Amino acid sequence: MIKSVENLERNPGEDPFIVARGGFYRRWLSMIDDIEELERIVTTLEGTTEDKWVPVWREAGARHEAEGDRLEAEGDIEAAKPRFLLAKTYYAIGRFPGEISPLKAEISADCARAYRKACSHLDPPMKVLDIVCEGKDFRAHFRAPRSDSPVPAVLIMCGADVFKEDRGWAAELALEAGLASLVMDAPGTGENPFPWEPESVKAWVAAVDALMARPEVDQNRIGAFGISRGGYSVMQLAGTAPEKVKAVAAIAGHPFGYEMSDEEMAAIAAARNRRSTHRFGPPDGPPSFPTWSVEKEREIFAGWSLSSLGLVERINMPVLMINGDNDHLAPIGNIHYMLESGPVGTRSAKIYKGSGHCAFEHQTEWGPATFRWLKSKLSAE
């Protein structure tokens, strides 16, 4: 029997030496067709610093990319595409958590190259858009279904450590629902030059403006979809530009306005500190993730929460929120808080019992359902 995600044990956390549902590899599990291969690769890891991490994932990616090249040369495009996508995914794991060193930038370029190969035969095609915001430009990926009239569109937001090349599946789901899409990197990641700070919501607004300007898109029917930190960003965008965003789907996200107890904050700090023990950059480099504390969590809440920014009541369009009830990074109280506020009948949620951050193990269910929901809400406008 071929091993699947469902066969994996549930072990939420950030341990890169364990392949589990809700674990470190949750970000990519739905993109990997051979879980046993992934497990074999993980068993060969001798560390997470880039000298021990990048070569392992680069070799795996190069092996599948070469197979994709062979199949493409033979004219078997349908078989080549998944090999290129798998190569992209392994390169993306090697790049984690981002382009924090020259070596990470190199494997990031490998990732982008493999993704371009996978997308070179798409129908309808993927277009690379250069979006300008306050004198800076960033690239995003646009796709639209073939249609004689403008269609609704969705801005697809990435999170902290997964770039736009890893959200192509969301663009595919948008197409299946009859929606155009624009996938872009979050501020502070990939090809987005803006720093990660509350004011960088202007980059999201610029992306929505770019969508509204496309002739393929109905400018009055724009939605947004985000995962993890992107789940927060989609809510921040909705509250910042409610006149432009007509429906929002947030998978996890933090902080919204839910005030955690001391025990919850201590648990969040502990989880983040466990993550900070793994270094993914140079052996002599700084920690890849900062140490955390209850005081730091309070500081983030004061500067970033939707309630502190005065955005909660401005989110007046239909909202769908999804997460697992055992999220160690974005407490489920965020969803309960948003359900308790805002206009009556505008907010809905799906909470997966026993699941972890973003309920990734249920992505095959909530992914298509979410884009069908977006289509229904945008079509109603």
- For residue 40, give every residue at least 6 positions away whose Cβ sits within 8 Å of its Cβ, in sequence order, or none: none
Supply the pLDDT for residue 2: 60
Supply the pLDDT for residue 276: 85
Supply the pLDDT for residue 191: 87
| Tokens (6 digits) for 190 | 């990939």
* Helix 168-176 and helix 102-119, axial crossing angle in degrees, nearest 10: 30
pLDDT digit string (tens) for 8-45?
998 888 999 999 998 999 999 989 999 999 999 999 99
Q: Say what percent of the chain tops pLDDT 70.
A: 99
**How many whole angstroms separate alpha carbon 300 and alpha carbon 296?**
6
pLDDT digit string (tens) for 293-336?
999 999 999 999 999 999 999 999 999 999 999 998 999 999 99
**How many whole angstroms separate alpha carbon 29 and alpha carbon 75?**
28
In the block, tokens 């699947």 appear at 4
| Tokens (6 digits) for 296 | 């730091």
**How many whole angstroms separate alpha carbon 349 and alpha carbon 83?**
35
- How large is the average pLDDT for residues 350-357? 94
CB-based contact 16:52 (threshold 8 Å): no
**How many whole angstroms separate alpha carbon 147 and alpha carbon 314?**
33
CB-based contact 223:152 (threshold 8 Å): yes
**How many whole angstroms separate alpha carbon 88 and alpha carbon 118?**
9
Supply the pLDDT for residue 235: 97
Q: In the structure, what pLDDT confidence band is assigned to residue 223 with cuts at 50, 70 and 90?
A: very high
Structural domains of the chain in order of their starting residue, each with its CATH number? 5-119 (1.20.1440), 127-257+305-379 (3.40.50.1820)
Please classify residue 169 by burial: count the beta carbons closer than 10 Å to its beta carbon, then call 0-12 exposed, 13-18 middle and 19+ buried: middle
